[in-house]
Each structure stands twice: as structure tokens, then as C-alpha cells.
């Protein structure tokens, strides 16, 4: 249920309604929209009678929210959430591109990639320091040493840094170095981790689980939002199907479907969605045409020697080409890049 305050409601009236909601045993979350404040009431509201709230001073109306993901829902906040990221942002009319290697493999390769993707127009640098690997004997990432290289690359380029966090105990160290915490597909329903990143004051890039429905995806985002972290970026990265031509199946419809359901920015990851460097640019264009707010692309200076995900990594030159071709599509759909 949400309490929509009148546009001229005073701070005291809002504070009073917040207390009333708490007294009912519900958790209030304040969402400031343009021109109105909404109090999202989270918790088990089955036994609560909302009538009393509706007559509160400064209240415009009390409405049920159909979606189970109350705070993430468009019903609560009509205008898009815009998240600042380095020199750009995600969720506004301009698109933002995050690019970099799957894993931080070393200082030189990271700095070289960072300068190249910045030059081509990226707003943020990605790079895993803690890697969730299917095979326990494969490269697991450089850990804190890798985070240090990411921070150095940020100093050198001004790019924001996106790095994955795999466990609640890694949140403090990753948050110390990175600007955005990535929760990977394999951890989308790690509810302890979701709560831990929710309690941290950094934007979270949440990737769709490989067999998660969109409702499960949005409920995972709701875990983070319900800890009062408003800055969640949703990432469609392909789902698992019977298809073997591509690593995953890119769910292009998920992009506009999510945009309709939530005010949160939605980006696409054509690298993991396809698993094939030769398909990344075309799928990037499709994502932009479908309304994505941004892209996350794996770029490696020498994909052939990459320690992780080389087959889907593109070169800096191919990345520069991708940005240009996506710019044309962005402009065709009324956006900029």
C-alpha cells in the first residue's frame, strides 16, 4: 500500500503519516517524486485497515500496490530513477556504457583497457576482482590487489568502477574501492548478500539470475531497496534455454517489460547474453532499440589470451565501433549516447 501526499503537504504532515504507518506495524519508505511525496508501506498489510490513513492531514490518497515489489514498482514512482555514474548517469535520456575486462588480470592490461574504453565513450570501468567461477580450478580473480588496480584506473581516467561482490563479508572491502557493487547472476537470490549490499551506501548492479523470472528479479531488487538503498541498476544478461548456439538467450523483451514495471534503470549485458564476440554489437543495438538505459560490455586488449570469458570479449577497437553504431540507434529512439 502507498500513501500519496498532496503536492502542498508540509514536512510535519509527512512526518506524522510516517509515524502512523510505523504504529500500524509497517515499515515506511519515503519516495520523493517530482511534485509529490509517496510513503511506501512495506510489511504484512493483510490485517491493517488503511481507511484511517486516508483521512490524515496532507494525504491525497491511499492506494494498494498490485505488485509484490512495492518500492521498485512504477506505481510508487512514475518518474525514472537516475543514478549518477562517473561522467554520466543511468536512467536519464542519455545512455551510459560500462566496459572493461571480465576479470582484472593485472595492472597494465587494466589501465590500457580503461584508457581505451574511456576514449570510446564509456562512463564506467568494469572488472571482477572476486570471480564466481563454475570450475574451482580456474582463475578466481586477484582479490584485493585487483581492487587496488581498479581504484588506480579510476584515478587515471575519471571512470566510475564496477566490481562484483560474491559474499556479505566481501562487501566492506569491495565498497572501499568500487563505486558500484555488482551482484552476479549466480547470487541474484542470495538474500543475505542482497541485504548486505542494501545496507551499504553504494549503487548496486543486480544481474538477472539465469533462470529467474522477472518477478523474482524485481523481488531481489526489492530486498536491496527495502534496506533503504535506492540505487539499484537492473541488468538483463540472458537466461538459460535449450539453445546452444549462444551461451545464454538474450531476453530482449525483458528490457521494455522491466521498464514498464519499475522506475529503476535497466541495462543489458550482450557479452554474457551471447557468449560470442561476433554477436555483441548487434545485440547491443537491439538492447538500445528496446529501450535499455545502458550496456555493460566485456572488453579485453587481447581477447585470445584473456583468462576469463575471452570468447565473448571484444577488442578496444571493436568497442569503439560498437559505441558509434549504438549511438545511431539511441538517436533513432530519442535518446543520446
Interface with ligand PEP by CB under 6 A: which residues?
102, 128, 132, 184-186, 207, 237, 272
User: Closest approach of Cβ 216 to ligand PEP, in Å?
Assistant: 15
Q: How far is the CB of 181 from ligand PEP (least distance, A)?
A: 12
Q: Which residue, 37 or 312, has its beta carbon nearer to Mn ion?
A: 312
Nearer to Mn ion, 179 or 309 (CB): 309
CA distances from 182 to 14, 144, 206, 230, 336 (A): 34, 15, 6, 15, 25
Residue nearest to ligand PEP (CB): 184
With CB under 5 to 8 Å by kind, the binding choice for 231 among ligand PEP, Mn ion, none is: none
Lookup: cell for 265? 534503470
Least distance in angstroms from the C-beta of 275 to ligand PEP: 10
For residue 18, the SS3 value is helix
> For strand 204-207 and strand 232-236, is the pairing parallel, antiparallel, or unpaired?
parallel
Which one among 42, 263, 309, 322 touches Mn ion, defined by CB under 5 A? 309
Nearer Cβ to Mn ion, position 230 or 309? Answer: 309
Cα(117)–Cα(162) distance, integer angstroms: 14
CA distance 165 to 178: 10
Candidate segments 111-119, 181-189, 251-259, 308-316, binder of Mn ion by CB under 5 A: 308-316
Task: Return the HEC string of 33-54.
Answer: CCCCEEEEEECCCCCCCCHHHH
| Residue 185 contact, options ligand PEP, Mn ion, none, Cβ 5-8 Å cut-off depending on partner type | ligand PEP
- The SS3 assignment for 101 reads coil
∠ Cα 293 296 300 (to 5°):
155
Please say which residue, 154 or 237, places its beta carbon nearer to ligand PEP.
237
Q: Between residues 102 and 161, which has the closer beta carbon with respect to ligand PEP?
A: 102
The distance of closest approach from Cβ of residue 307 to Mn ion in the complex, given in angstroms and rounded to an integer, is: 11
The least CB distance from residue 102 to Mn ion, in Å, is 3
| Contact between residue 265 and residue 81 where contact means Cβ atoms under 8 Å apart | yes
Render 196-262 in DSSP notation, one character per residue.
Answer: HHHTSSS-EEEEPPTT--HHHHHHHHHHHHTTT---EEEEE--B--S--SSSSB--TTHHHHHHHHB
Measured CA to CA, the distance from residue 141 to residue 105 in angstroms comes to 7
| Rounded distance between C-alpha atoms, residue 50 and residue 27, angstroms | 14
How many residues bind Mn ion (CB under 5 A)? The answer is 2
One symbol per residue from 81 to 110: x for binding Mn ion (CB under 5 A), - otherwise; what is it?
Answer: ---------------------x--------
Q: Which C-beta is closer to Mn ion: that of 88 or that of 101? A: 101
Check residue 77 and report its DSSP letter.
-
Q: Which residues in the 15-44 window bind Mn ion by CB under 5 A?
A: none
129 binds, among ligand PEP, Mn ion, none (CB under 5 to 8 A by kind): none
> Minimal distance in Å, beta carbon 108 to ligand PEP?
20
Q: Among residues 3 and 102, whose Cβ is nearest to ligand PEP? A: 102
Give residues in contact with Mn ion (CB under 5 A). Answer: 102, 309
Amino acid at each position: 500500500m502507498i500513501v500519496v501526499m498532496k503536492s502542498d503537504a508540509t514536512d510535519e504532515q509527512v512526518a506524522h503519516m510516517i509515524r502512523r504507518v510505523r504504529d500500524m506495524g509497517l515499515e515506511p519508505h519515503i519516495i520523493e517524486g517530482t511534485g509529490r511525496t509517496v510513503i511506501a508501506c512495506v510489511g504484512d498489510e493483510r490485517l491493517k485497515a488503511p481507511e484511517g490513513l486516508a483521512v490524515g492531514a496532507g494525504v491525497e490518497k491511499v492506494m494498494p500496490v498490485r505488485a509484490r515489489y512495492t518500492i521498485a514498482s512504477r506505481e510508487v514512482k512514475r518518474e525514472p530513477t537516475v543514478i549518477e555514474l562517473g561522467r554520466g548517469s543511468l536512467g536519464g535520456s542519455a545512455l551510459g556504457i560500462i566496459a572493461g575486462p571480465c576479470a582484472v588480470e593485472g595492472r597494465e592490461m587494466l589501465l590500457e583497457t580503461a584508457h581505451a574504453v574511456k576514449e570510446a565513450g564509456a562512463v564506467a570501468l568494469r572488472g571482477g576482482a572476486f570471480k564466481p567461477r563454475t570450475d574451482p580450478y580456474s582463475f578466481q580473480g586477484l582479490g584485493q590487489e585487483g581492487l587496488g588496480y581498479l581504484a588506480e584506473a579510476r584515478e587515471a581516467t575519471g571512470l566510475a568502477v564496477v566490481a562484483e561482490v560474491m559474499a556479505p563479508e566481501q562487501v566492506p572491502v569491495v565498497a572501499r574501492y568500487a563505486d558500484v557493487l555488482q551482484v552476479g547472476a549466480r547470487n541474484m537470490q542470495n538474500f543475505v548478500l542482497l541485504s548486505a549490499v542494501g545496507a551499504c551506501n553504494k549503487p548496486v548492479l543486480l544481474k538477472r539470475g539465469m533462470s529467474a523470472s522477472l518477478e523474482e528479479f524485481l523481488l531481489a531488487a526489492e530486498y536491496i531497496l527495502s534496506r533503504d538503498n535506492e540505487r539499484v541498476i537492473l541488468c538483463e544478461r540472458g537466461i538459460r534455454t535449450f539453445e546452444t548456439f549462444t551461451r545464454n538467450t538474450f531476453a530482449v523483451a525483458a528490457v521494455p517489460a522491466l521498464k514498464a514495471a519499475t522506475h529503476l534503470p535497466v541495462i543489458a549485458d550482450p557479452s554474457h547474453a551471447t557468449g560470442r564476440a561476433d554477436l555483441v554489437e548487434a545485440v547491443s543495438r537491439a538492447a538500445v532499440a528496446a529501450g535499455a538505459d545502458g550496456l555493460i560490455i566485456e572488453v579485453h586488449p587481447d581477447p585470445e589470451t584473456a583468462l576469463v570469458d575471452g570468447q565473448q570479449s571484444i577488442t578496444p577497437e571493436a568497442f569503439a565501433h560498437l559505441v558509434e553504431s549504438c549511438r545511431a540507434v539511441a538517436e533513432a529512439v530519442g535518446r543520446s549516447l
